């Protein structure tokens, strides 16, 4: 039996999923809890999900956003990050995501692949939601 792909969803994927039910991001978010992949989270990532999702740009109440985040957390593997190093990414606010991916041995699923151009030097693959969805549909 093969192991499930381990992934970290960048916040932009979750935002995109909650803005429209028509896109690939929503399809991936809908797969959480279906044993198609193993979602990885950390406290800083969950805090970022909450902060960004509650900025008022979505047609959801804070309680509904809490429910989505709680569901994601209930169906994720949780990691504590204790690294004393910081990779230097294009956006330093993305460093914690890369640290989580390194610790969890996971791929990063993001719409902003260019922001993670240095991830491959640490053995982390970065894929778009569309490419990840295709990988799930057509495993090699």
Total-model pTM: 0.95
Question: How many Cβ atoms sit within 10 Å of the Cβ of residue 34?
Answer: 8
Please answer whether residues 50 and 91 qualify as being in contact, where contact means their C-beta atoms are separated by less than 8 angstroms. Answer: no
Fold classification of 6-137 (topology level): Rossmann fold (3.40.50)
Residue-range domain boundaries for the chain: 6-137
The closest alpha carbon to 42, from 6, 73, 88, belongs to 73
The closest alpha carbon to 32, from 138, 129, 140, 131, belongs to 129
pLDDT in tens, the chain (140 residues): 469 999 999 999 999 999 999 999 999 999 999 999 999 999 999 999 999 999 999 999 999 999 999 999 999 999 998 876 676 788 888 999 999 999 999 999 999 999 999 999 999 999 999 999 999 998 87
What is the rounded CA–CA span in Å between residue 46 and residue 58?
A: 17
């Amino acid at each position: 039996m093969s192991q499930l792909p381990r992934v970290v969803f960048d916040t932009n994927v979750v935002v995109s999923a909650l803005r429209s039910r028509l896109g690939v991001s929503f399809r991936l978010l809908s797969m959480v809890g279906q044993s198609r992949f193993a979602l990885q989270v950390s406290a800083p990532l969950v805090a970022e999900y909450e902060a960004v999702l509650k900025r008022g740009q979505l047609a959801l109440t804070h309680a509904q956003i809490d429910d989505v985040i709680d569901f994601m957390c209930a169906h994720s593997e949780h990691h504590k990050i204790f690294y004393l190093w910081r990779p230097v990414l294009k956006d330093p606010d993305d460093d914690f995501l890369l640290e989580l991916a390194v610790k969890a041995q996971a791929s990063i699923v993001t719409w902003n692949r260019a922001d993670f151009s240095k991830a491959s030097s640490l053995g982390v693959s970065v894929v778009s939601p569309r490419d990840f969805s295709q990988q799930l549909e057509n495993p090699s």
